[in-house]
Structure 1
Amino acid sequence: MAEIEREAMEYDVVIVGAGPAGLSAAIRLKQLDADLNVVVLEKGSEVGAHILSGAVLDPVGLDTLIPDWKEKGAPLNVPVKDDNFYMLGEAGQVRIPNLPMPPLMNNHGNYIVSMGNVCRWMAEQAEEMGVEIFPGMACSELVYGDNGEVKGVVAGVFGLEEDGSIGENTEPGMELHGKYVFLSEGVRGSLSKEVIAKYDLSKGKEPQKYGLGMKEIWEIDPEKHREGSVTHTMGWPLESNAGGGSFIYHLENNQVYVGFVVHLNYKNPHLFPYMEFQRFKHHPMVADLLKGGKRVAYGARAISEGGYQSMPKMVAPGVALLGCSVGMVNVPRIKGNHNAMLSGIHAAEAAFVAINEGRAGDELDGYEALVRTGPIGKDLKKVRNVKPIWSKYGLTASLVLGGLDMWTNTMGFSLFGTVGHGKNDADATEEASKHKPIDYPKPDGTLSFDRLTNVSFSFTNHEESQPAHLKLMDAAIPVAQNLPKYAGPSARYCPAGVYEFVEEEGKDTRFVINFQNCVHCKTCDIKDPAQNINWTTPQGGDGPNYPNM
């Protein structure tokens, strides 16, 4: 594509991704200087189309950015009224008392929200201030300057031929140049991944860790609905097979968010995260809540879980990584949106200072310092050991030792120092011969559903004539290596049924990529044992169209 001549547009700051981090950065830049030229590029069909989060929102980021958000009609309508924690067994549950929990686990003052709707509202605020926002504009390439700095992105390429070549209907897109480029693509974004590798930003850091979060929206019997109620569970059905747990949040209009997270460092390649989620809904406590209701939406996304010790360097010449592009989720709180917003604010403030000094294309060191020493760093440092303790010693140890560590960290010290994560999630996968296959119950079509039926409730769509955006480094590896050694785990770890091994009589097994099903969760890019799958962005507007996630 390098030979294509494209038109170029010049901006002060180019922002990739209209999530909470990118939109916060855009708003803050305009608050600091209304004359700055700021553009936000969003690959989803509209702002919010690709946003999926729990979500219980800590409003600290919004309070900092737009203190009068209530008066301006921000969609934070359901304050949390009660917190419930349960340890599940197959047939029952034990309530974990709130009293011994560290104060940071308290959701008092937080709100149950649709982050998609929060981002739609934030986009309205940004546009009123003069920010240009272009949805349906996927950013497929970085543009580098003469000194190796990031100076922009290529956006809006449409109509490539199936083999990736230029056709008569191809729209080549355009280059958008900025004094600085902010990457707020969410977890494992393709441009962020390139920047981290090119500038070796993870050097000296622990590997990033991830979870797979799956979520359904249910409309339930009004008599069972408790607006403002928050429930988290651990234990069954995952137990010793994997780390993770669930959330059930009662929002308005008799709806509940039902979510399930599986930590992607699981060893057994036979594990089927999606089916663990479906099995969870048959627990008596959950089944009773959902009985008589109906599922109205489904989606999935990866979650960054490495925390404080896994955050890469956040800046390189001309570019800064924001929010989940860095990994700012507080794992025990299951919250990252507040830190994403704060990161956008910090990046904007650092860029404002630099531009006022006449700088461009250098490293925004001030942003990195604000993140690591400010409220984000303090939030993540307190909980940095919970995830690695859980991974190394199991759930019970995490509850006891991780809880103790969080308590001592609130007093300014840790008994454990900083615990390392060890392997990345791909390397954690063991050979299938070391594990027994897991027999999952067939979905009943009432509480539990097959993947393809559920994917239809993500409203995902991809233009089928374009090149597959899921690219294999070596096309032979899935059948030659992953199938015999790992029992073909991509057929299970994908929550959208993208990958399958097709056996036909008299023919060799084929590896099929149904990229049209992809909900852009990026799990394949993370968990594939050979790290053989590279997730790239499809053309703009493709992917899920989440209405209320």
Structure 2
Amino acid sequence: MTEFTREAMEYDVVIVGAGPSGLSAAIRLKQLNPEREVVVLEKGSEVGAHILSGAVLDTRGLDALVPDWKDKAAPLNTPVKSDKFYFLGESGKMSIPTWAMPPLMSNHGTYIVSMGNVCRWMAEYAEELGVEIFPGMAASELVYGEDGRIKGVVAGEFGKNPDGTPGPSYEPGMELHGKYVFLSEGVRGSLSKEVIAKFSLDADSDVQKYGLGMKELWEIDPAKHKQGSVTHTMGWPLGSSAGGGGFIYHLENNQVYVGFVVHLGYKNPHVNPYLAFQQFKHHPMVKELLEGGKRVAYGARAISEGGWQSMPKLTFPGGALLGCSAGMLNVPRIKGNHNAMLSGKAAAEAAHEAIEAGRAGDELTAYETEVREGAIGKDLKPVRNVKPMWSKWGLTASLALGGLDMWTNTAGFSLFGTLKHGKSDAEATEPADKHKVIEYPKPDGKISFDRLTNVSFAATNHEESQPAHLRLTDPDIPVSVNLAKYDGPSQRYCPAGVYEFVKDETTGADRFVVNFQNCVHCKTCDIKDPSQNITWTTPQGGDGPNYPNM
């Protein structure tokens, strides 16, 4: 067998993921010491290619990191001008007055943005400061030191055969070592998942909860466009089958973001989040807006919803978890990018202090303290009960009790303490025979679209000769357990049509097919599979979606 050796490159800090938290850390490290050696590894074909977010951006993270961002032409072009909340019925809507909401829910001073473009701008600024950024370099493996600490990652491995063996054009990649390794992979990152398990970082935290966010970019009739308008909805078409809701954000150039979030803790395995999203667009309010327009792009990704009580320990020997790798989304505000930026800044400051003091390699306890006691903790702790209330008591009760709890938290106390989430999203799935099949309308090809057609608007691509990055622990379980007991929920919860069950033409037996080429890296399968039999790993660098302006 041919032996392959990897070259090693040494840095002060190695950052995995060029999202808002990773780029913020890189920028802050260079601000503190221009001589600091910092590298950022990005699995997407370019910075921003894999970034998908709502997004209404609270600028407090950017204000702290780059106070003169306006002078530096940051792509924040659309301030929020109007803010509406609706409870939807099948054909009507009821307005929820904003005056009844706690002040923390206000969108005053926020901006409708493409976070992909914000990250592209941040990357340019980071490179001006001297940060090395390597797009198309998937960090596929952790490197451990003799003492058990994380000392680096393996990146840039290409050319494996489908069975995982080195192919004729195999490149082993290289090891990038650092005094610290920051994992800023976003939700359910494969390396973060490994680190959390290895160092039991979640031993004292509640179970993490997730949602699936799906989003389309539309160009609409200019007569219907209201730049700066923000709308959020709850209720129809989900009803009691699942939690979640929709959003409509009017950005510049007659474009609108239309999106839908489904909480993944639903019980009924017949729920189809993607088709619920398509059905949402046929509500009269949404349909009227989109008629005469055209869809420009589509994408999907999981979001972390556990909040304050679900954040694991943030530091481990050799590094730290940043942003959504730890779960810093403010659920009722549907905002996490500001906390991601603040976490990157805080981690950078802690690492800088340790290195300057000759304590490189020490655990970054100052980072943990800043997140828990600083601005991030103050943002997340007051809203910590909204998600578990919604999961336990439903939408109506959670609106009343969650609102009350947020109001009392502004005064520094909670009537409910800290509620627990209960089961994981995978464990919440119940057998199919306990629930009715849900009939969804067939997409019309004008307002609503089938999955495979929409996935083409994500511009996703995976080199087909590589090993499938969606790995089955037991290849028999999808048919013998998940199809038999849960009616094969993977064929519905995946928003990209990756999974399907087909009949063998000879035997008539069911066969599980994984079309990994369709994957948009949302990681829902890793989260929601009731048998926890699917593991999402990184494909080779550069593969996956290529999101424009998302």
Q: TM-score surpassing 0.5?
A: yes
Verify the 8 A CA contact 1:149 1:362 in the aligned structure 2: no
Aligned 8 A contact 1:151 1:361 in 2: no
2:450 is matched with 450
Distance (Å, rounded) in 1 between the aligned partners of 2:4 and 2:377? 43
What amino acid is aligned across from residue 385 of structure 1 in structure 2?
A: N
Task: Return 5+ residue gaps in structure 1 as ranges.
Answer: none
Unaligned runs of 5+ in 2: none
Residue pairs, 1:103-502, within 5 angstroms: 103-502=103-502
Counterpart of 1:371 in structure 2: which amino acid? Answer: V
Cα distance in 1 between the residues matched to 2:121 and 2:144: 33
State the partner residue of 1:93. 93
Q: Alpha-carbon deviation of 1:170?
A: 0.3
The secondary structure found in structure 2 opposite 1:303 is: strand
Q: Secondary structure at the match of 1:167?
A: strand
Aligned equivalents of 2:340, 2:506: Cα separation in 1: 53
User: What TM-score results when the alignment is normalised by the length of structure 2?
Assistant: 0.99
What value does the CA root-mean-square deviation take over the aligned residues? 0.9
1:548 corresponds in structure 2 to 549
Shift of 1:362: 2.9
Aligned residue for 2:87, secondary structure, equals strand
> Could you give the per-residue CA deviations for residues 423-455 of structure 1, whole angstroms, max 9, x where no partner exists?
000000000000010111110000000000000
Deviations 1:276-295 (A, max 9, x none): 00000000000000010000
Give me the whole-angstrom Cα distance separating, in 2, the residues matched to 1:175 and 1:272: 41
Question: By how many angstroms is 1:204 displaced?
Answer: 1.7
Aligned amino acid, residue 244 of structure 2? G
User: Counterpart of 2:62?
Assistant: 62
Aligned residue number for residue 538 of structure 1: 539
Q: Distance in 2 between matches of 1:421 and 1:230?
A: 29
Residue type of the alignment partner of 1:513: V
The letter for the 1-side match of 2:226 is R
Alignment of structure 1 residues 6-17 onto 2, 5 Å: 6-17=6-17
The letter for the 1-side match of 2:183 is: L
CA distance in 2, matches of 1:476, 1:3: 33
CA deviations over 1:458-509 (Å, ceiling 9, x no partner): 0000000000000001111000100010000000000000000011344221
The answer to whether the 8 Å contact 1:76/1:113 transfers is yes
Does 1:22 pair with 2:22?
Answer: yes
Give the whole-Å Cα distance in 1 for the aligned partners of 2:486 and 2:330. 31
Distance 1:442 1:235 in 2: 20
SS of 1:176 mapped into structure 2 = strand
- SS of aligned partner of 2:427: coil
- TM-score of the aligned structures, taking structure 1 as reference length: 0.99
Is 1:523 the equivalent of 2:517?
Answer: no
- What SS does the aligned partner of 2:203 have? coil
- Which AA in structure 1 matches 2:297? A
Aligned-partner Cα distance in 1 for 2:537–2:548: 23
Which string of whole-angstrom CA distances, capped at 9 and with x for unpartnered residues, describes residues 218-258 of structure 1? Answer: 00000000000000000000010000001100000000000
- Mapped contact 1:316–1:362 kept (Cα < 8 A): no
Deviates more, 1:134-143 or 1:358-367: 358-367
Cα separation, 1, equivalents of 2:142 and 2:97? 50
Cα distance in 1 between the residues matched to 2:314 and 2:3: 31
State the alpha-carbon separation in 1 of the partners of residues 417 and 214 from structure 2: 32
SS for the counterpart of 2:303 is strand
- Look up the equivalent residue of 1:433 and give its one-letter code: D
Is the 1:150–1:361 Cα contact (8 Å) retained in structure 2? no
Determine helix, strand or coil for the equivalent of 2:167: coil
- The aligned residue for residue 38 of structure 1 is 38
Q: Secondary structure at the match of 1:500?
A: strand
In structure 2, relative to structure 1, the CA distance for the partners of 1:2 and 1:93 (3 Å cut) is farther
> What's the secondary structure of 1:400's corresponding residue?
helix
Partner Cα distance (1:267, 1:72) in 2: 48
SS of the residue 2:159 aligns to:
coil
Q: Give the secondary-structure state (helix, strand or coil) at the position aligned to 1:133.
A: strand
Q: Take 1:438 and 1:167, find their aligned partners in 2: how far apart are those partners?
A: 45
- 1:346-389 per-residue CA deviation (whole Å, 9 max, x = no partner) reads 00000001111222333111111110000000100010000000
Offset of residue 4 of structure 1: 3.5
Q: What secondary structure is seen at the aligned counterpart in 2 of 1:169?
A: strand
SS of residue in 2 equivalent to 1:501 = strand
- Give the match's secondary structure for 1:170: strand
Question: Whole-Å Cα distance in 2 between the matches of residues 118 and 15 of structure 1?
Answer: 18
**Secondary structure of 1:134's aligned partner:** strand
- Give deviations 1:157-204, integer Å, cap 9, x for gaps: 011111000122101000000000000000000000000000000002
C-alpha distance in 2 between matches for 1:195 and 1:124: 30
Partner Cα separation in structure 1 for residue 413 and residue 17 of structure 2: 37
CA–CA distance in structure 1, aligned partners of residues 339 and 280 of structure 2: 30
- Say whether the 8 Å CA contact 1:11–1:38 is kept in structure 2: yes
Taking the aligned partners of 1:308 and 1:167, their CA distance within structure 2 comes to 45
Q: Using the alignment, how far apart are the partners of 1:541 and 1:231 within structure 2?
A: 34
Deviates more, 1:413-422 or 1:504-513: 504-513
Q: CA deviation at 1:3?
A: 6.1
Identity, % of aligned positions: 78
Q: Structure 1: which 4+ aligned runs deviate by more than 4 Å?
A: none
Q: Deviations over 1:372-413 (max 9, x none)?
A: 000000100010000000000000011000000000001100
- Once the two structures are superposed, residues 27-63 of structure 1 have per-residue CA deviations (whole angstroms, 9 ceiling, x without a partner) of 0000000000000000000000000000000000000
User: Structure 1: how far apart are the matches of 2:359 and 2:270?
Assistant: 52
AA matched with 1:155: A
What is the rounded CA distance, in whole Å, between the counterparts of 2:158 and 2:411 in structure 1? Answer: 54
Give, in whole Å, the separation in 2 of the partners of 1:162 and 1:429: 32
Distance of aligned partners of 1:303 and 1:3 in 2 relative to their CA distance in 1, 3 Å threshold:
farther
Secondary structure at the aligned position of 2:468 is classed as coil
For residues 152 and 505 of structure 1, the distance between their equivalents in structure 2, rounded to whole angstroms, comes to: 48
How far residue 5 of structure 1 moved from its aligned partner, in angstroms, is 1.5
* Paired AA for residue 526 in structure 1: I
Measured in 2, the distance between the counterparts of 1:490 and 1:3 equals 39
CA separation of 1:354 and 1:2: change in aligned 2, threshold 3 A: farther
The separation in 1 between residues aligned to 2:76 and 2:322, in whole angstroms, is: 23
2:390 counterpart SS class:
helix
